Structure 1
Amino acid sequence: MATFTSRVLFGRTTFTGDADLYGATFLDDATFDGARFETASKLGPLACGGTVALDGAVFDVPVTLEIAARAVSLTGARWVSKATLRLRYAELNLSDAVLEYPVTVTAHPKPFPLSGETVSEGELTGRDDGVRLTSVSGVDTAYLALYDIDLSACRFAGAVHLDQLRVDGWCTFAAAPVGWDRRFPWRWSRRRALAEEHDWRARSRRWSCGWAVPPQDAPVLRPAVLAALYRQLRKGLEDGKNEPGAADFYFGECEMRRHDKDNTFLAERILLTGYWALSGYGLRASRALAWLGTAMTATVAALMLWGLPADDPKPEITGRQVEAGQAVTLTTDTPDARNPTDRLIERMTTERFEKSLRVVINSVVFRSSGQNLTTAGTYSEMASRLMEPVLLGFAVLAIRNRVKR
């Protein structure tokens, strides 16, 4: 169990046997750039107070990497066989890595065991022992599986087969800001988001409030690219039966399509805007119910003030007098409803409210109340029977999308 007090370089080294680093401790960086592990089936467990650099390394046989470090860089690394990465504390970079067989990345919950003790992690004391993946750009993720990994800062742009990426355990994504926007009259709702969306919104003068400031060298992607990323990741989550997570990514996909002025037609953007405003793309039940309550309140008020007649029309029977012994012809008719003429405040009565509420509640379920209405009331009821069931359907859809499995 060796201890290295200064930076160690194993660049372009070929390990023809086991890499004997069992229990090794590096107080500074450990560099294995371009190294080749021909027969080593295990690397570690080891601890590093700096960065373990395995950029361009090649692993020819099935291998297990057990590393506790501040950072682990595997840019351009290649696995010719399957591999398991068990990490602690690390920020992991997998940019341009080549995966020919399944590779699993997990956050190890406890210090790595040795014979009768554990690997010394003194240089890492006080840090979060979780694993944060920073990039899979340029990676074919069809063979990649992640377990208990922090993906809040991960860049997915440039990766392929994201719909086949396995995300299991307690993997976390970035979160959209929560609360009221200081400049616009709307409230951000809680949802999972990609780091790339944070980059795009933070650099937009209109949407920057509350979104994480991106690194200076982070590229800003177009909304069309972000929509494609959300779409692929959503499919992967749906295949893994993570429906609530997939719903958040569907929200993100629709948001990017709504803001994409290059590839989304104006009519489609208008429809998406309406869908967003009324129900949050069918994912915000509270928004749909709020609109439903507003619509019902407005309809009740309209019926009370203008929709109900002054008096309920009573049937009238008319006929003509004939000579004795001849048949009598009688006609029964209901006169047209008479518009109220009293002051508006006088129309706000309990009786009229009860009648209006009955009409509106029946309208929500596409039923007619049978109440006589004025011309204005008839059109109000028609509009209510068209809009309010749709809003109710949006609310039911939103609840379904959040609880289905």
Structure 2
Amino acid sequence: MCERTRWESTATVRVRYAAVDLGHAVLAAPVAVIAHPAPFHFTYSDSPVSEVLLAGAGRQPRSPDRVRVVSVQGVDAAHLVLTDIDLADCLFSGAFHLDQIRLEGRTTFAPTPIGWQRRGIRPMRFTRRRTLAEEHHWRAHIASQPIPTESAAPNPRLWRPGPHHTDPARTPDPEDVAALYRQLRKAFEDGKNEPGAADFYYGECEMRRHDTTDTTKGERRLLWGYWLLSGYGLRASRAFAWLLAAMSLTVLLLMIFGLPASVPEPATTGTLNGSKISLHTSTPDPALHGTWSQRWSWARVEKATRVAVNSVVFRSSGQNLTIVGTYIEMTSRLLVPTLLALGVLAIRGRIKR
């Protein structure tokens, strides 16, 4: 439907139970494709058009699989408006001015696979986010997933293979998918939908992290660290989990190596030369003595916790520490506030308008 058509004037296409293919259509004026929420009515009467023979007629009127756009390849998207459309299988590669497309209403994209996956001997799980069909095709290709039958429903635990699943030359590369994510992210940001753009920023960073052609090894390592610590600044739970782990490790290391056995007392020494007395007061360096069992006490836990909490806001606790403990505190005062900032950044990215 609508493939290789030409639209010379403004048009609004209202459809139900349809799969719209806009591939290589020429849009000379704005064109809107809208999922109609209710049955159509006859023009000569007020009775609705029967939908008994339509596929999925028994489903809810606004279920996301009612109207699908399967391709906008080769389309000048600057004139395209999609409202309440399912874009889970839509191919965007080859579209022009994709950053100017308008996506309105309940526009849905394909989700990531659910559940735990296995890569070699390492278990892994993908965080929930909206993804493009091109990313599904690339990941299904590198995972060597089997080709499903045409009548089979998509497996929610697997990536969706593309139409050229067995041909690597026709499967999008990470650099191509990253460009698509970047343009769609800008489209959401221009529409003042910052939370909606977050998933596309995540997808862009993911593709750059996997791109071995245009992304240098150093940049990929930085992206890997950014992903690991905070999910590219979009996963607050991950950043706060690392924050809690860093503070717990700081407390543990301070109890074992950083807190002295006792507070060093100042000592004063003097010399008498004739009628003059010279006095010198010095405080010995904090030292750690005692057995391992003596280092585990609630008093030491309280002192170490105070040091760790103060490091969150770059404050010194004023606690006497050994030389090793001083370096532990310095490291904590650098790392812990960074993790806190990443967590706050992730929250802001999800609620900013």
TM-score (norm 2): 0.89
RMSD value over aligned CA atoms? Answer: 1.8
Q: Distance in 1 between matches of 2:162 and 2:272?
A: 96
Question: Letter of the aligned partner of 2:53 in structure 1?
Answer: E
Which residue does 2:81 correspond to in 1?
145
Which residue does 1:388 correspond to in 2?
336
Give a deviation string over 1:208-266, Cα, whole Å, max 9, x none: 99333324436410100000000000000011122122010000000000000011000
Which residue does 2:180 correspond to in 1?
229
Q: How far is 1:344 from its partner?
A: 1.7
Which residue does 2:49 correspond to in 1?
119
Q: Distance in 2 between matches of 1:247 and 1:355?
A: 40
Matched, 1:174 2:174: no
Greater displacement, 277-286 / 210-219: 210-219
Q: Distance in 1 between matches of 2:350 and 2:39?
A: 37
Q: Distance in 1 between matches of 2:293 and 2:237?
A: 32
- Give the structure with the larger strand fraction: 1
Picking from 267, 277, 284, the partner of 2:235 is 284
Which residue does 1:364 correspond to in 2?
312
Matched, 1:205 2:143: yes
Question: Letter of the aligned partner of 2:37 in structure 1?
Answer: P
Give a deviation string over 1:131-158, Cα, whole Å, max 9, x none: 1110000000001011111111111011
Question: Letter of the aligned partner of 2:164 in structure 1?
Answer: D
Which residue does 1:90 correspond to in 2?
18
In 2, are the aligned partners of 1:131 and 1:149 still within 8 Å (CA)? yes
Greater displacement, 169-178 / 179-188: 179-188
Q: Distance in 2 between matches of 1:389 and 1:185?
A: 30
SS at match of 2:70: strand
Which residue does 2:2 correspond to in 1?
74
Give a deviation string over 1:333-382, Cα, whole Å, max 9, x none: 21111122x22232110111111111111112111111111111111111
Picking from 124, 130, 144, the partner of 1:186 is 124
Give a deviation string over 1:375-402, Cα, whole Å, max 9, x none: 1111111111111111111101001101
Question: Letter of the aligned partner of 1:144 in structure 2?
Answer: L
Give a deviation string over 1:294-353, Cα, whole Å, max 9, x none: 1111111110011111111112222223555x5x4322221111122x222321101111
Q: Give 5+ residue unaligned stretches, structure 1.
A: 1-72
Matched, 1:316 2:316: no
Q: Distance in 2 between matches of 1:332 and 1:206?
A: 74
In 1, are the aligned partners of 2:13 and 2:31 still within 8 Å (CA)? yes
Matched, 1:105 2:43: no
Matched, 1:195 2:133: yes
Which residue does 1:214 correspond to in 2?
161
Greater displacement, 123-132 / 390-399: 123-132
SS at match of 1:384: helix
Distance 1:78 1:304, change over 3 A: same
TM-score (norm 1): 0.78
SS at match of 2:107: coil
Q: How far is 1:97 from its partner?
A: 0.5
Query: Higher relative contact order at CA 8 Å, sep ≥6: structure 1 or structure 2?
Result: 2
Distance 1:134 1:213, change over 3 A: same
Matched, 1:352 2:303: no
SS at match of 1:111: coil
Which residue does 2:151 correspond to in 1?
none
SS at match of 2:118: coil
Q: Distance in 2 between matches of 1:226 and 1:251?
A: 12
Matched, 1:158 2:94: yes
Which residue does 1:404 correspond to in 2?
352
Which residue does 1:269 correspond to in 2?
220
Matched, 1:379 2:307: no
In 1, are the aligned partners of 2:72 and 2:90 still within 8 Å (CA)? yes
Question: Letter of the aligned partner of 1:211 in structure 2?
Answer: L
| Number of aligned residue pairs | 330
Give a deviation string over 1:102-130, Cα, whole Å, max 9, x none: 10110101111222212232311644552
Identity of aligned residues (%): 56
Question: Letter of the aligned partner of 1:368 in structure 2?
Answer: S
Question: Letter of the aligned partner of 2:305 in structure 1?
Answer: L
Question: Letter of the aligned partner of 1:213 in structure 2?
Answer: R
